[in-house]
Amino acid sequence: KPQLVASNDRFCRFLEEYCPVVTETYYPTIWCWEGRVQTLLRPFITSRPQVQYRNELIKTADGGQISLDWFDNNDSSYYPDASTRPTVLLLPGLTGTSKESYILHMIHQSETLGYRCVVFNNRGIAGEELLTPRTYCAANTEDLETVIHHVHSLHPSAPFMAAGVSMGGMLLLNYLGKTGRDTPLMAAAIFSAGWNVFESIESLEKPLNWLLFNYYLTTCLQSSISRHRQMLEKLFDMDLVMKARTIREFDKQFTSVMFGYRSIDDYYEDASPCRKLKSVGIPVLCLNSVDDVFSPGHAIPVETAKQNANVALVLTSCGGHIGFLEGIWPRKCTYMDRVFKQFVQAVFEHGNKIFSM
């Protein structure tokens, strides 16, 4: 049974009534219950619902561009008026895009409820060109602020919330910690966020975890920027960047330099959402598994969460990183998908009961 951490009794009662999945026993798939196995198998096991996107490129203040993938849900019978159709902004993980299976499942869940979705693809990874020598990181929220302002300006009368997965969740938390209540978002859902980057990196550098995850993710990061090598070579020694064998080495040579940090430690400190959790000013539900090697259980800020009435943590003992597989053959719906669907519906249809907190 998940551990529900929330200091606000009203928020707890709201979740128990309208998002009961967070109080139900989670039974992980019996033949792949271990966290690393869940993490590795989910992308291969889960189905990939068909989603037809409408792409939009928006300009940024520094001359760059951001690729947004819209699922308009114009056939919505629940919300036929597009101007008031609830909108969910989705933030994928580190090298993820709108094509990730977990994003497709979130859109499928939203479609059944009649909602519109828009996926925020980080710069340079969704097929669009880099117009400036800049990509993205977990700490810098400028592009996310641009996207939120843009989406809200297009549909100012539509209820609006966001959901972030892994690094997308970290970025969303860092944005919320920066803005407090000064955001058009009603609420947010966070899945498998890395709370303390120092602890995440240390966990991922253990020999087995490096072999299974760290090296592969590093090559994914290098692959995502190699297409833009001509643009990035203006500022970086790309040969050195491409020699990185860990995420830490990549961040030291590339990410921390790009965003002007004096050291990698300064970047990792700024990127850690645990430092900003006290300042979150809207209702946020965060799902983590304590066996997630990307976000170790001991680094989840339970005590800090208890100090903010807007925050609720849901902690499972199993589930891995964006895993949460359940059932004998977990092809379709995961526990994470069910938490997403119930919480989004609860916010859009009964949110007034928590917004007076």
Determine the residue type at 225: I
Cβ proximity of 72 and 116 under 8 Å: yes
77 is catalytic: no
The single residue of 76, 98, 101, 166 carrying the catalytic annotation is 166
Other residues' Cβ atoms within 10 Å of the Cβ of residue 217: 19
**Beta strands per DSSP E along 254-321:** 284-289, 311-316
Question: 3-state class of 3 per DSSP?
Answer: strand
266 is catalytic: no
- Owner of token pair 């096991």: 45
Determine the residue type at 20: P
- Owner of token pair 């990185």: 244
- Pure H helices in the chain: 9-18, 35-45, 101-113, 142-154, 167-179, 197-204, 207-209, 215-226, 229-232, 238-241, 247-250, 256-258, 264-271, 302-305, 335-350
User: Which helix H or strand E contains 4, and what residues bound it?
Assistant: strand 3-5
166 is catalytic: yes
The single residue of 143, 251, 291, 292 carrying the catalytic annotation is 292
Determine the residue type at 265: D
Question: 3-state class of 22 per DSSP?
Answer: helix
Calpha distance 139→143 (Å, rounded): 11
Query: Closest Cα to residue 40, out of 322, 245, 337, 296?
Result: 322
The single residue of 108, 155, 228, 321 carrying the catalytic annotation is 321
Cβ proximity of 66 and 143 under 8 Å: yes
User: What residues act catalytically?
Assistant: 166, 292, 321
